[in-house]
Amino acid sequence: MERVVKNKVIVFGRDNYNTLGLARQLGNENLDLVFLMPGEIHHCATESKYCRNIIHVKDHNEAIAYLLNNNLEEVFKPIIVAGADLEAEALDQNRDELVKHYIVPGTMEQGLLTKVDDKNIMVRMADEIGFNVPKSWRITAESVLPDDIVFPCFIKPAKFPADHKKEFKMKKCDTKQQLADILRRVRKDSVFILQEYIPLDVDLWVNGCRTWDKKITIAGTGYKYRFVQDMAFGQITKGVSELLDMNHVKSMMEKLDFYGVFSFEYGRYNGKAYFFETNLRNDGSSYSFYKSGANLPLLWVYSSAGLDCSMVPASVRNEVWYMDDLYDYLSIRKGLVTKDQWLKDKDKATVFKFYDKEDLGPWQYVYRRRHLIRAKKLLLDKYRPQLVGLLDRFHK
């Protein structure tokens, strides 16, 4: 069958769940699909039957070098899809050279995406636009704690470090002493955002795509009811929650002049939605939207190829329940849900993080190692700041 998309499509992502989702969304679309994969092979995406043509490189620097030295004579510019933050930032930092030979997602100004990925800058911009943002402070290990900090609060890394792991994803501090204890254990060069604690009813988010005609397409709304590793258990629904103002989303996308797939994350409390962050790249949850009927990465590819985007399904057609089939089981151990309720939730779910009856390789691989992977997760949850500190000192 003749290909509709004449351009080569390069999925730039590590061997992780984000890349697995992209493989499943694009792998059946008769594309000239290539996976540019930096870092270690973890046998998640690489076990997928859709992940065939793999170019494995040592790190993101080698990946950019590969791009700058290959595909330079293509008749149709190859289209790049960024797997996650590190890939989006690597593209952003080399944008001016890459756009000579590739169609690259991101902001049109080199360096702007990397700058805005700092959550302190991101929430300040969101506040200026009119999003409802929790009270926030920029903080480091050596900061003098502001007098107006509201307790309890959350502390989380301001951005994903390029050269080392984050100490933790997020921690709640009930007192000033707890916050001080955490800051004593983190690296001096780490930057965090501190935000007032909002006792959430539920996390919610939207996945979207801004195409080259400047149109913003929102696939639907996701709800996270349990959180263990990214989204552990939740629902994908049609349309946009009445609590979310898409004019704010449009304003931020226009202000950044961003093109590509994205997501906006919020928390709901007492009838209000509080902005948490935007992801200026493929969201790991895009696969759950795909199983609901929307293929946003394919919409980006069609737009980049100059094709009729109306041919691409881009809105949720079937509302589904989603479960992380590897990590959500830990919700029982953490006391978030009873085993009986968890079993009922599992029966309700029709979309899973790894399991797909049409693509069993990734699930079979993680299932064989599930006990080791879960134990590692529990260990890192408890001791990650100390372990990262030790690794950082050893690296130096």
How do residues 312-330 score in pLDDT, each as one tens digit? 999 999 999 999 999 899 8
Residue 25 vs residue 387, higher pLDDT: 25
User: What is the chain's percent helix, strand, coil content, to nearest 5?
Assistant: 35, 25, 40
From the CB of residue 77, how many other CB atoms can be counted at a distance below 10 Å? Answer: 17
How far is residue 292's CA from residue 366's CA, in Å, rounded to a whole number? 24
pLDDT tens-digit map of 207-240: 999 999 999 999 999 999 987 766 689 999 999 9
* Cβ atoms of 100 and 174 closer than 8 Å: no
* Cβ atoms of 280 and 14 closer than 8 Å: no
In this prediction, residue 2 carries a pLDDT of: 79
* Cβ atoms of 49 and 365 closer than 8 Å: no
Q: Which long-range contacts (CB under 8 A, 24 or more apart) does 164-170 make?
A: 164/388, 164/391, 164/392, 164/395, 165/384, 165/388, 165/391, 166/388, 167/384, 167/385, 167/388, 167/389, 168/384, 168/385
Closest among 324, 208, 330, 198 to 267, alpha carbons compared: 198
Q: What is the mean pLDDT of the chain?
A: 92
Q: What is the mean pLDDT of residues 28-36?
A: 96
Please, which pLDDT band fits residue 394 given cuts at 50, 70 and 90?
A: low
Please, which pLDDT band fits residue 250 given cuts at 50, 70 and 90?
A: very high
**Alpha-carbon separation of residue 361 from 10, 44, 140, 324, 365 (angstroms):** 22, 8, 42, 16, 6
| b/e 225-246 (16+ beta carbons within 10 angstroms → b) | bbbbbebbbbbbbeebbeebbe
Q: What is the mean pLDDT of residues 236-256?
A: 97
How far is residue 269's CA from residue 196's CA, in Å, rounded to a whole number? 13
In this prediction, residue 387 carries a pLDDT of: 57
pLDDT tens-digit map of 334-353: 898 999 999 999 999 999 99
pTM: 0.92
How far is residue 263's CA from residue 307's CA, in Å, rounded to a whole number? 23
How far is residue 319's CA from residue 235's CA, in Å, rounded to a whole number? 7
- Take residue 22 and report the two structure tokens written for it: 């992209």
How far is residue 136's CA from residue 196's CA, in Å, rounded to a whole number? 7
Domains of the chain, each with CATH number or no CATH: 8-108 (3.40.50.20), 135-197+372-395 (no CATH), 202-355 (3.30.470.20)
The percent of residues in the chain predicted with pLDDT above 70, rounded, is 93
How far is residue 153's CA from residue 139's CA, in Å, rounded to a whole number? 13
For 250, how many CA atoms within 13 A lie in the half-sphere containing its CB? 9
In this prediction, residue 160 carries a pLDDT of: 67
> In sequence order, what are the beta bridge partners of 55?
36
Please, which pLDDT band fits residue 73 given cuts at 50, 70 and 90?
A: very high
In this prediction, residue 375 carries a pLDDT of: 84
Q: Which amino acid, 88? A: A
Please, which pLDDT band fits residue 243 given cuts at 50, 70 and 90?
A: very high
pLDDT tens-digit map of 350-371: 999 999 999 999 999 999 998 8
